Amino acid sequence: MKLLAGNWKMNNSLEEGADLMEAIVEGLSAQVVGDVRVVVAPPFLQLPQIVHGLWENAHIAVAAQNGHAAEGGAYTGEVSMAMLRDAEVDAVILGHSERRQFFGETDQDVADKVKAALKHQLIPIVCVGEVLAQRQAGTYLEDVWAQLHTALNGLSGDSLSDCVIAYEPIWAIGTGEVATPAQAQEMHAYLRAQLKATFGADDMSIVYGGSCKPSNAEEIFAQPDVDGGLIGGASLVADDFIALVKLLNQA
Ligand code: PGA
């Protein structure tokens, strides 16, 4: 399945978020979308207005950028998967490198969140990726697989087909530095083979993230094991996001 997700991160007021969404919806005719699954991930506070503003539009799914693994209780400042589902959110980004880097999330935390998300019928978009030192040391394939293996541990091939994997090399996120199409393809093919060998999962979407924009996406999307993108900066510019959907549809 082709998938393009926009991670809005901690940006925009309610009004700005609504304006961005309106511009995106306007630009995404059924023809542009084609067989691409389009997802937007606004900040928590914007979720209800984005979900309900889209009531009539079947083309776009809505994701949260995080969720807590516990059912509920004394976790000040957190939002549970049950709450996200109750708000009619479709998916949740888990283990983003910024969550790992700034909030200390571990692979085991991500694993707990993936299970909780699946329990509440949310599609987990599971992020993995290596730092520059791991790439330079040549251990990046094994290192990223170790992250993903832990995050998905204990799941069956069946529940895995409900998950999306986002490969995001950390050295490429928000840096303007983008993986080459060959680097993306190498990792995606490796992860796909490992997922099949370990979990028997062979129909998972694996998307690329990291400074992906209309000027560099075409070649990346053309790679056989790249099923789409997780887009940060360029997802805040409606025209760029729409252009990326178009490119992916044509890929
Ligand atoms: P970027 O972010 O496109 O701004 O590099 C990608 C992401 O963090 O998901």
Q: Check pLDDT > 70 for residue 9.
A: yes
User: Candidates 102, 212, 220, 237: which one to mutate for ligand 1, based on the most atoms within 8 Å of Cβ?
Assistant: 212
What is residue 46's three-state secondary structure? helix
Q: Check pLDDT > 70 for residue 57.
A: no
Burial of 35 (0-12, 13-18, 19+ CB in 10 A): exposed
CB of residue 233 inside a 6 A radius of ligand 1: yes
Instruction: Give the whole-angstrom CA distance, residue 63 versus residue 226.
Output: 20
Ligand 1: nearest atom to the Cα of 212: 3
Sign of CA pseudo-dihedral 172, 100, 203, 197 = positive
- Structure tokens belonging to residue 198: 């370990």
Write the residue with the smallest CA distance to atom 2 of ligand 1. 232
Instruction: Give the whole-angstrom CA distance, residue 63 versus residue 3.
Output: 13
Ligand 1: nearest atom to the Cα of 231: 3
Q: Write out pLDDT tens, residues 145-160.
A: 999 999 999 898 888 9
231: left (phi > 0), else alpha (psi -120 to 50), else beta?
Answer: beta
Q: Check pLDDT > 80 for residue 141.
A: yes
Instruction: Give the whole-angstrom CA distance, residue 120 versus residue 142.
Output: 31
CB of residue 212 inside a 6 A radius of ligand 1: yes
Out of 115-119, 141-145, 179-183, 198-202, least confident range: 198-202
C-alpha closest to that of 227 among 200, 201, 209: 209
Write the residue with the smallest CA distance to atom 3 of ligand 1. 232
Q: Check pLDDT > 80 for residue 33.
A: yes
Residue 202's pLDDT is what?
Answer: 82
Please give the domain boundaries of the chain with CATH numbers for all domains.
12-250 (3.20.20.70)
Which residues are known catalytic residues? 96, 168
CB of residue 3 inside a 6 A radius of ligand 1: no
Average pLDDT for 65-86 = 98
